[in-house]
């Protein structure tokens, strides 16, 4: 492994944190109960009245590294129009729990407690991949609080076979496999990235709280059966999907749209895979804006 002073992951994360800070967010930690602590980026406690008048928006990351890695292309443009809350889900980044629950419903309950502690009464939520599982459950648990829902690349309708494939991909941390499968999560392959860079990134992504993250995958209630367990929710829903997503293929998006009912819209982004919010961030952000805001601003 490369020496610490060559830690590319730490260097990149420091740059990403600057993006969050420049968007007016501060890193905070809050105990939501006697067992669980959440680290999140949000408005400083001394926010101006102008900021408090903006609608609130919760961003929930997918399986992998912490929130700063997954929403860095969204925080700056979205911060102009929303009061942003960007937490690390439990057992990612700086969030932890001494409790035994590992389900996505537990994650949803924790995020609901966080917003309650922060006295945010109404908010919309965006969840990508695993974060979409959490967002969907938040919409069901807190219908009086969650206004609109964006599910990005999130197969909440996955069956047992889909779940097995999802777990296998999420657990993988071998550099050679990362090279071969980089096309699954991004349209840009990693063939020319040095081994020590990929090894450092793998360490950052997978080694921290490795046991707990494995338990989160095993604790998923979604995908336990050969039938899906999706029912319509009362909120307006936007599905955003990468046209070339190989983790949750586009057909799952079309099926999910039918399951969620006539308050659901599907937008797919061409030439992107599983992380369209990074691969084509401007197009992704535009879809989000036009869905969440009464009049969509130009980005």
Question: Could you tell me which residues come within 8 angstroms of residue 90 by beta carbon, excluding any fewer than 6 positions away?
Answer: 36, 38, 96, 97, 106, 107, 110
pLDDT on residue 100: 96
- Is the CB of residue 111 less than 8 Å from the CB of residue 140? no
Which residue ranges form the domains of the chain, and what is each CATH number?
4-292 (3.40.50.1820)
Per-block average pLDDT, block size 10, for the chain (299 residues)?
56 90 98 98 80 91 90 97 98 96 98 98 97 98 98 94 69 42 46 60 68 90 85 98 92 97 97 92 97 78
Of 254, 279, 276, nearest to 264 (Cα)? 254
DSSP β-ladder status, 96-97 and 36-42: antiparallel
The pLDDT value recorded for residue 284 is 98
| pLDDT, position 185 | 45
Q: Are 200 and 7 in contact (CB under 8 A)?
A: yes
- Please list, residue by residue across 151-169, b when 16 or more beta carbons sit within 10 angstroms of its beta carbon and e when fewer do: bbbbbbbbbeebbebbbeb
What confidence score (pLDDT) does residue 102 get?
A: 96
Quick one: which of 31, 11, 24 has its CA closest to 54? 24
- Is-above-0.85 flag for pTM? yes
Closest Cα to residue 252, out of 161, 130, 149, 157?
A: 157
């Amino acid at each position: 492994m490369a020496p610490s002073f060559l830690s590319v992951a730490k260097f990149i994360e420091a740059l990403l944190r600057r993006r969050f800070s420049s968007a007016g967010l501060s890193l905070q930690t809050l105990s939501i109960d006697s067992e669980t602590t959440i680290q999140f980026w949000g408005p400083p406690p001394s926010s101006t009245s102008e900021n408090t008048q903006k609608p609130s928006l919760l961003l929930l990351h997918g399986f992998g590294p912490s929130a700063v890695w997954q929403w860095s292309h969204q925080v700056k443009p979205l911060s102009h129009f929303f009061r942003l809350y960007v937490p690390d889900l439990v057992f990612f980044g700086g969030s932890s729990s001494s409790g035994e629950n590992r389900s996505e419903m537990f994650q949803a309950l924790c995020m609901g407690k966080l917003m309650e502690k922060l006295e945010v009464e109404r908010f919309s939520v965006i969840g990508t991949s695993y974060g979409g599982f959490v967002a969907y459950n938040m919409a069901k648990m807190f219908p009086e609080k969650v206004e609109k829902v964006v599910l990005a690349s999130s197969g909440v309708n996955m069956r047992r076979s889909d779940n097995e494939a999802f777990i296998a991909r999420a657990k993988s941390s071998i550099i050679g496999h990362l090279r071969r499968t980089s096309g699954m999560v991004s349209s840009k392959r990693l063939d020319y990235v040095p081994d020590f860079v990929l090894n450092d990134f793998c360490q950052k992504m997978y080694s921290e709280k490795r046991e707990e993250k494995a338990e989160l995958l095993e604790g998923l209630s979604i995908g336990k059966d050969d039938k899906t367990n999706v029912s319509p929710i009362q909120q307006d829903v936007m599905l955003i999907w990468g046209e070339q997503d190989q983790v949750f293929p586009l057909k799952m998006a079309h099926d999910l749209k039918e399951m969620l009912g006539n308050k659901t819209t599907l937008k797919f982004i061409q030439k992107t895979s599983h992380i369209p919010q990074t691969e084509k961030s401007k197009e992704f952000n535009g879809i989000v804006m036009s869905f969440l805001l009464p009049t969509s601003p130009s980005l």
